[in-house]
Amino acid sequence: MKRTKITFSTETLPSELRPFLEDADVYDSSCSASARTLFIAGKEKAFLKIACKGSLEREGVMSAHLHVHSLAPRILAYLSEGDHDYLLSEAMEGEDGTAPHHLADPDKLATVFGESLRRLHSLPTEGCPYLNRTQEMAQDDMKKGADLTPLRKHAYAPVDSVILHGDYCLPNLLMDRFELRGFIDVGDGGVGDRHYDLCSGLWTLRYNLHTDAYRDGFLDAYGREAISEEGLAYFTHWAELLPS
């Protein structure tokens, strides 16, 4: 997780957030063009995410829901003002799955990555603020120009039965010496089909480790009894249909 120390003027922020940055060192920790993320090292360590108006509310709500289960950071503030959303969350201990010492032990990384996803998917779905995620994601992708009609040839029918992360990749898993601390960037989460996250997990392992050699270790650690190969094929095909 990169952090570049910067000079930051608090005058650009809503007044409610300025006290959190008093006498604090500020670092740019952005990893996405859609949001700016600042690491604040002050009286308490926190992350401040700044993005376009209306884009961070779901992340705040899902993070708060998962925090109840000790699987996401505590949300300190969410504000929507002017053209921007502001989401302030505590900084959890640990580093993400792409930290060099995690990537240096890929077998263990794949195992913990699978076990962590199973833990998330084992949470009760009651009270989750967002339901029917598979249908929602399909609608969103079609609005972006995806033609999902080829999915009809699959015998598999998605089942919304677990709490999804929604963007399950190594940068969004926080660990302390391979011990799960929590999940971040959960704004696409909600109750959906487990194979969506599983396919995302397989993709990020291939991307970050440059091989498919850890596929079986990840799926074994998750639990093969809960996995449908047809489900994996369905969501793999779905990803291939998305506009590049």
What is the value of pTM for the model shown?
Answer: 0.94
Long-range (24+ apart) CB contacts under 8 A made by 2-11 are 2/29, 2/31, 3/27, 3/28, 3/29, 3/39, 4/28, 4/29, 6/38, 8/38
Q: Band of the pLDDT at 44, cuts 50, 70, 90?
A: confident
Asked if the model's pLDDT at residue 33 lies above 80, the reply is: no
Strand partners, 50: 36, 86
Asked if the model's pLDDT at residue 1 lies above 70, the reply is: no
HEC readout, the chain = CCCEEECCCHHHCCCCCHHHHCCCEEEECCCECCEEEEEEECCCEEEEEEEECCCCHHHHHHHHHHHCCCCCCCEEEEEEECCEEEEEEECCCCEECCCHHHHCCHHHHHHHHHHHHHHHHCCCCCCCCCCCHHHHHHHHHHHCCCCCHHHHHCCCCCCCCEEECCCCCHHHEEEECCEEEEECCCCCCEEECHHHHHHHHHHHHHHHHCCCCCHHHHHHHHCHHHCCHHHHHHHHHHHHHCCC
CA 57 to chain centre: 14
What is the pLDDT, as a whole number, of residue 8?
83
What is the pLDDT, as a whole number, of residue 42?
85
Which tens digit of pLDDT belongs to each residue from 65-83?
999 999 999 999 999 999 9
In the predicted model, what is the mean pLDDT of residues 131-151? Answer: 96
Strand partners, 175: 95, 180
What is the pLDDT, as a whole number, of residue 191?
98
Q: Band of the pLDDT at 225, cuts 50, 70, 90?
A: very high
In the predicted model, what is the mean pLDDT of residues 130-147? Answer: 96
What is the pLDDT, as a whole number, of residue 124?
98
The residue from 23, 25, 28, 167 that is catalytic is 167
Residue of 40 and 32 predicted with greater confidence? 40
Residue 124, number of CB atoms within 10 A of its CB: 9
Q: Band of the pLDDT at 16, cuts 50, 70, 90?
A: very high
Q: Band of the pLDDT at 6, cuts 50, 70, 90?
A: confident
Q: Band of the pLDDT at 217, cuts 50, 70, 90?
A: very high
Chain-wide mean pLDDT for the chain? 95
What is the pLDDT, as a whole number, of residue 180?
97
Asked if the model's pLDDT at residue 189 lies above 90, the reply is: yes
Respond yes or no: is residue 167 known to be catalytic.
yes
What is the pLDDT, as a whole number, of residue 5?
86
Phi and psi torsions of 38, nearest 5°: -115, 135
